[in-house]
Amino acid sequence: MQLTKRREQIEQIVVTAEQMREIEGRIFEAGMPVAALMEKVAGLITRRIQTLYPYPQTRRVGVLVGPGHNGGDALVVARELRYQGYEVLIYRPINKLKELTSHHAHYAESLGIPFYEQIQPLLDCDLIIDGLFGFGQTRSLEGNLADTVKQLNQLSQPILSIDLPSGIHTDTGEVLGTAIRASRTFCLGLWKQAYLQDQGLDYLGEAELIDFGIPLADIWAVLGQSPGLMRVTSSMVRDCLPLKRSAATYKYKEGHLLLICGSTQYSGGAILTALGARASGVGMLSVAVPDSLKPLLVSHVPESLVIGCPETPSGAIAQLPDSVNLSKFSAIACGPGLTLDAKSLVQGLMGVECPLILDADGLNSLAELKTIPTLIRRQGATVLTPHIGEFKRLFPDSAELLPNRVSAVQKASVLSRSVILLKGARSAIANSQGSVWLVPESTPALARGGSGDVLTGLIGGLVAQPATAKFPLDAIVAAAVWWHAKAGILAAQERTELGVDAFTLSEYLIPVFQDSRG
C-alpha cells in the first residue's frame, strides 16, 4: 500500500532542471555515492530494455555516449547488456569525459566492447540507445554532432533515449538546433517539464518514468509540501470526480449549470457544449440560446431547460430574458458559438458571484473589455479556457514567455486572479497562486472543431456540482481536461484519429467515467 501511494506521488511531481540538480545534490550530500546511484539507475534501465527488446530478437545494440553522467549511465547499460549476450557497439564523439564516466569507458574497453568516433558502424544496429546528454542541456547541437543526429533520425530502427532525447531543453521542450527523435524515452527519477510542453513531443516517443527511489523527504525539501508543478494522474482524477451520490439525493441537490452559447451562425457550439455538460452528471442544465435555436436545442438535449433569448440582427444573443435569475445557478459557462456581437452580454456576467467559465467568444469579448482590469474586479471565481491564439489576445505580456507554456500560464493566472486552462497537446492549468497542473496525454484526434466546446460544457458541469466543491477549482478543471483527453484517446482507438468528430467525442465521455471508477 505504501509503495502504491509513493508511486502515485512520484508520478504527480514535475521538476525543472535546477530542482532536479538540487534534489540529486541532497542525495549525494547524505552519503549516496554517485557511482552507486549510477549502477542502480543503469540496472533498472537494463532490465527494462531486456523486457522491451529481448535477446535474441534484438542482437546488436548501438550506444551513444556523452561526456557527463548520462554517458556514464549509458556505459553501465552497455556493459550489462554485453553480459546478457547482446553485441554492443559504442559511439563516443567526445573524448574528454567526466571522471566517473571515463572509468566506465576504460572498463568497457577492457571487456572488448568496440568504441567508434564515427556513427557509421552503429547504423545497422537493431537498437540505438541515446546517452549523449541528459537533463540540463542548454547548448545547441552543432557541427559533426548535429550531422550525426540527422543521420540517426533517418533510421527505421528504434532509438531509446536515457532521461531526455539529446538536444531537447529540459524545461521548455525546445529543440536546441537539432535533437534525437526517440522512439521511447526513459525519464529518470522525476518527470521533467519538457515531457509536458508541446514543443518536444515529436521527439520523446513513448515516455515512461524510471523511479530509482528518491527519498520523498529530499523532494519535499526542495519543492515544498505543495509543489508548484503537478502532473495529472488517474488517482488524482478519481479523487475529484463525483463518483458516488447519496441514495436520497435529487436533481436540485446536484448542481444547476447555465450555459450561454450559440448563434444562428454557430448553432453547433451550443449543442456540443450542452452534450459535454450532460456527460458531467450535473443535476440541472439550463441553456440560453437565441430564440431561433430553441427548437434545435430541445431536439438534441431534451432534458435541458432551454431559454430562448432576444437576438441581434446578426443572430447573436442580445440579452438574457428578465426572468433569468443568475443567482440561482451553481456555475455559468459562456462563449462557444456566441460571436462578438454578444460582448455586452459577457460584460454583464462579470458581476455574478458563482464560478464563471469563459471560452471562445467569451474570451474574445473579455480581451476587448481589457482582460486583467475586468477580471480583478470580479468577486466570484473565474475559469478561462484559451488556446494559444486566444491566450495571446488575452495576455499579451504573459505571451512573451511563450513557447514556455508553464511560465506563461503561471504569470497570467497570478495577474488575473483566475484559473487558466491553456489548451494544447499538453494542456496546462494554473491557479492564482501560480501552481500548475499539467495533463500528460492527449491525442491529435482532438484537433477538430467543436472538441473545445465539449470540454467547456464538461468543465461547467463538474464545477457546478456540490460534490466537487471541496476540491480546489484548478484541480476540478484539470480532472475535466484529463477526462476529455481520455475520451479522445479511447475514441481514436476505436474510430481512428481522423474519425473522431466532436459529437462522437461526447459519446465517449461516459465510458471513460465508468473506467475511472476503478
Distance (Å, whole) CA 240 – CA 473: 10
| Binding-site annotation: residue ranges for (6S)-NADPHX | 69-73, 134-140, 163, 337, 387, 453
Among 33, 117, 45, 29, residue whose Cα is nearest residue 78:
45
Q: Which SS3 state, helix, strand or coil, does residue 172 take?
A: coil
CB 307 within 8 A of CB 286: yes
Q: How many CB atoms neighbour CB 213 within 10 A? A: 14
Tell me the torsion sign for CA atoms 410, 412, 418, 421.
negative
pLDDT of residue 202: 94
Distance (Å, whole) CA 461 – CA 261: 15
pLDDT of residue 217: 94
What is the mean pLDDT of the segment spanning 358-382? 96
Q: How many CB atoms neighbour CB 318 within 10 A? A: 17
Which residues on adjacent β-strands are paired with residue 313? Answer: none
> Over 90: is that where the pLDDT of 6 sits?
no
pLDDT of residue 282: 96
Q: How confident is the model at residue 517 (pLDDT cuts 50, 70, 90)?
A: low
pLDDT of residue 272: 98
228 alpha-carbon distance from chain centroid: 15
- Which triple of cell numbers denotes residue 402? 511563450
DSSP at 408: H
First to last CA, the chain: 16
| Binding-site annotation: residue ranges for AMP | 423-427, 452
> Over 70: is that where the pLDDT of 1 sits?
no
Average pLDDT, the chain: 95
**pLDDT, tens digit (0-9, with 9 covering 90-100), for 166-187:** 999 999 999 999 999 999 999 9
Domain ranges for the chain: 2-227, 255-516
Give backbone dihedrals phi and psi of 86, rounded to 5 degrees, phi first: -70, 150
Helix (H) or strand (E) holding 104: helix 99-110
CB 29 within 8 A of CB 94: no
> Over 90: is that where the pLDDT of 241 sits?
no
pLDDT of residue 224: 87
Q: How many CB atoms neighbour CB 87 within 10 A? A: 16
| Binding-site annotation: residue ranges | 69-73, 130, 134-140, 163, 166, 337, 387, 423-427, 452-453
Q: How many CB atoms neighbour CB 406 within 10 A? A: 24
Q: How many CB atoms neighbour CB 252 within 10 A? A: 9
Among 513, 487, 481, residue whose Cα is nearest residue 501:
487
**pLDDT, tens digit (0-9, with 9 covering 90-100), for 317-356:** 999 999 999 999 999 999 999 999 999 999 999 999 999 9
- 255-516 belongs to which homologous superfamily? Ribokinase (3.40.1190.20)
Q: Which SS3 state, helix, strand or coil, does residue 91 take?
A: strand
164 alpha-carbon distance from chain centroid: 17
Tell me the torsion sign for CA atoms 194, 197, 198, 204.
positive
Query: What type of residue sits at position 252?
Result: Y
pLDDT of residue 306: 97
**pLDDT, tens digit (0-9, with 9 covering 90-100), for 63-91:** 999 999 999 999 999 999 999 999 999 99
Say if residue 36 is exposed, middle or buried (CB neighbours under 10 Å; 0-12, 13-18, 19+).
Answer: exposed
| CATH architecture of the domain formed by 2-227 | 3-Layer(aba) Sandwich (3.40)
- Which triple of cell numbers denotes residue 321? 430574458
Distance (Å, whole) CA 324 – CA 303: 18
Q: Which SS3 state, helix, strand or coil, does residue 192 take?
A: strand
Which parts of 218-278 are beta strand (E)? 229-231, 256-260
Q: Which SS3 state, helix, strand or coil, does residue 376 take?
A: coil
| Binding-site annotation: residue ranges for K(+) | 70, 130, 166
pLDDT of residue 80: 97
Q: Which SS3 state, helix, strand or coil, does residue 168 take?
A: strand
> Over 90: is that where the pLDDT of 228 sits?
no
Helix (H) or strand (E) holding 62: strand 60-65
Q: How confident is the model at residue 239 (pLDDT cuts 50, 70, 90)?
A: confident
Would you put residue 435 in left (φ > 0), alpha (ψ -120 to 50) or beta? Answer: beta
Among 147, 193, 139, residue whose Cα is nearest residue 167:
139
